[in-house]
């Protein structure tokens, strides 16, 4: 009989094809699990044995259905965003499914931003960014989950703000929510305390519950998959090259109009109109930048894509989408954002164009720095 195997931890159907999907279990582990009578998916296995959670993601529909029950709870929402990719961290309609519950904003990955940038200023800027998306956080905290910066402060702030409520941690995939939850688990619990039994309504997915002092709990939720991410355009090895791991060193270019800068082969910036200006790029320090004349830029791109202009590499050109162009007249000092890649800070009184692979957003916002 061709029976579906299920994880005895979370109930997900066991599969060995896609490590990023629910129920992933390496084939060798499936065999061992069957022999021992304890078949866990890799995520549940890690949780049991190493007290560590791996990210799980769902599609928008599943996610929204699943989270809409938060509306009916009396809880504090901890909304985690990637401060390097704020736009890519926005959850459309967040307020709809959290109802009247207060939202605390956590800006993660602060370690990527220049340490010279005042954190108070950064926090105000971040708050304004989410205000524009209709979210009014009751407080904003900057942390680095990876470097364990300000995690104790965050926990204190959560305790101060939650007023006898449960806590739900929400965020899109890749903002570092699992890294953060793992830090919290390390700080707050031993493995014996971790509860993973209650299911999200309508799914086979367990939620991670970390007990708090007074009988309440901090609940991790699956990450929503954000479609317009570089992750959907570049293979993993190239994604590593464009995703910053360390503090970003801003790169300044003195540009005349009718000049172009390529960011590897993944994005392009055209300076169309304006005086000679300084333009500052905030991208992974290893992403190569090349300057050309606008008039030659198309030819240059076709000639050098995959070579000088990499990533993508030559092997991956077949699946790499063409760049799409977006033009902006800049009225106030702004960031031209290539979603997930970084941004360029552009002075007022200029006209520019940003290009990114089809499906990756290009937008402007008030300058962060």
342 binds ligand GDP (CB under 6 A): no
Peptide bond into 100 cis (omega under 30): no
Asked whether the beta carbons of 343 and 263 are under 8 A apart, the reply is no
Residue with tokens 């940038």: 117
Using CB under 6 A, which of 137, 176, 281, 357 touches ligand GDP? Answer: 176
The least distance separating ligand GDP from the CB of residue 247, rounded to whole angstroms, comes to 9
Using CB under 6 A, which of 75, 89, 108, 229 touches ligand GDP? Answer: 108
If you count DSSP H runs as helices and E runs as strands, how many of each does the chain have, helices first?
Answer: 10, 18
Closest to ligand GDP by CB, 1 or 236: 236
Count, residues in the chain: 369
Q: How do strand 342-346 and strand 267-273 relate by DSSP bridges?
A: unpaired
Size of the site for ligand GDP (CB under 6 A): 18
Closest to ligand GDP by CB, 171 or 264: 171
User: Which one of 93-101, 134-142, 176-184, 303-311 is the stretch in contact with ligand GDP (CB under 6 A)?
Assistant: 176-184
Residue 109 buriedness (CB in 10 A; 0-12 / 13-18 / 19+): buried
171 binds ligand GDP (CB under 6 A): yes
User: Which one of 85-93, 107-115, 319-327, 358-366 is the stretch in contact with ligand GDP (CB under 6 A)?
Assistant: 107-115
Distances 66 to 74, 84, 85, 195, 218 between C-alpha atoms, Å: 16, 27, 24, 19, 17
The least distance separating ligand GDP from the CB of residue 175, rounded to whole angstroms, comes to 4
Residue 248 buriedness (CB in 10 A; 0-12 / 13-18 / 19+): middle
Peptide bond into 312 cis (omega under 30): yes
Using CB under 6 A, which of 23, 33, 55, 264 touches ligand GDP? Answer: 55
The least distance separating ligand GDP from the CB of residue 65, rounded to whole angstroms, comes to 19
Using CB under 6 A, which of 104, 175, 184, 364 touches ligand GDP? Answer: 175
Which tokens belong to 131?
């205000």
The least distance separating ligand GDP from the CB of residue 350, rounded to whole angstroms, comes to 31
DSSP string, 186-210: HHH--GGG-B--SBPTTSSPBPEEE
User: Which one of 24-32, 138-146, 200-208, 338-346 is the stretch in contact with ligand GDP (CB under 6 A)?
Assistant: 138-146
Closest to ligand GDP by CB, 108 or 129: 108
111 binds ligand GDP (CB under 6 A): yes
Residue with tokens 């799409």: 324
User: Which one of 9-17, 65-73, 99-107, 177-185 is the stretch in contact with ligand GDP (CB under 6 A)?
Assistant: 177-185
Using CB under 6 A, which of 44, 145, 205, 218 touches ligand GDP? Answer: 145
Closest to ligand GDP by CB, 75 or 221: 221
User: Which one of 160-168, 173-181, 305-313, 346-354 is the stretch in contact with ligand GDP (CB under 6 A)?
Assistant: 173-181
Contacts (Cβ under 8 Å, ≥6 apart) of 316: 234, 235, 238, 306
User: In the beta sheet, which residues pair with residue 281?
Assistant: 251, 344
Using CB under 6 A, which of 89, 150, 178, 260 touches ligand GDP? Answer: 178
Closest to ligand GDP by CB, 108 or 310: 108
Kindly state the DSSP code that residue 368 receives in the 8-state scheme.
Answer: -
The least distance separating ligand GDP from the CB of residue 156, rounded to whole angstroms, comes to 18
Asked whether the beta carbons of 222 and 56 are under 8 A apart, the reply is yes
Asked whether the beta carbons of 226 and 87 are under 8 A apart, the reply is no
The least distance separating ligand GDP from the CB of residue 108, rounded to whole angstroms, comes to 5
Binding site for ligand GDP (CB under 6 A): 55, 108-109, 111-112, 144-146, 171, 173-179, 223, 245
């Amino acid at each position: 009989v061709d029976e579906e195997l299920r994880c005895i931890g979370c109930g997900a159907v066991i599969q060995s094809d896609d490590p990023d999907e629910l129920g992933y279990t390496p084939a060798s582990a499936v065999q061992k699990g069957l022999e021992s009578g304890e078949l866990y998916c890799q995520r549940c296995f890690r949780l049991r044995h190493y007290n560590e959670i791996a990210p799980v993601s769902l599609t928008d529909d599943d996610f929204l259905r699943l989270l809409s029950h938060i509306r009916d709870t009396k809880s504090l929402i901890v909304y985690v965003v990637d401060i390097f990719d704020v736009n890519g961290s926005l959850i459309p309609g967040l307020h709809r499914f959290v109802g009247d519950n207060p939202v605390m904003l956590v800006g993660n990955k602060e370690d990527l931003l220049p340490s010279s940038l005042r954190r108070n200023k950064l926090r105000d800027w971040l708050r304004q960014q989410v205000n524009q998306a209709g979210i009014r956080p009751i407080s904003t905290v900057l942390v680095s989950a990876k470097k364990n910066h300000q995690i104790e402060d965050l926990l204190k702030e959560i305790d101060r703000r939650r007023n006898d409520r449960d806590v739900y941690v929400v965020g899109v995939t890749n903002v570092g929510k699992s890294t953060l939850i793992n830090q919290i688990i390390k700080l707050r619990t031993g493995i014996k305390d971790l509860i993973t039994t209650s299911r999200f309504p309508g799914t086979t997915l367990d939620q991670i519950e970390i007990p708090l002092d007074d009988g309440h709990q901090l609940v991790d939720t699956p990450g929503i998959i954000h479609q317009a991410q570089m992750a959907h355009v570049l293979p993993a090895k190239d994604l590593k090259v464009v995703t910053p791991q360390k503090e970003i060193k801003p790169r300044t270019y003195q540009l005349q109009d009718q000049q172009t800068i390529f960011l590897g082969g993944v994005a392009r910036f055209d300076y169309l109109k304006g005086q000679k200006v300084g333009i500052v790029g905030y991208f992974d320090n290893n992403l190569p930048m090349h300057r050309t004349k606008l008039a030659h830029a198309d030819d240059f791109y076709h000639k050098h894509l995959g070579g000088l202009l990499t990533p993508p590499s030559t092997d991956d050109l077949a699946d790499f989408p063409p760049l799409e162009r977006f033009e902006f007249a800049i009225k106030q000092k702004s960031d031209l954002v290539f979603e997930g890649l970084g941004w360029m800070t552009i002075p007022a009184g200029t006209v520019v164009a940003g290009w990114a692979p089809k499906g990756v957003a290009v937008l402007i916002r008030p300058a962060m720095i």
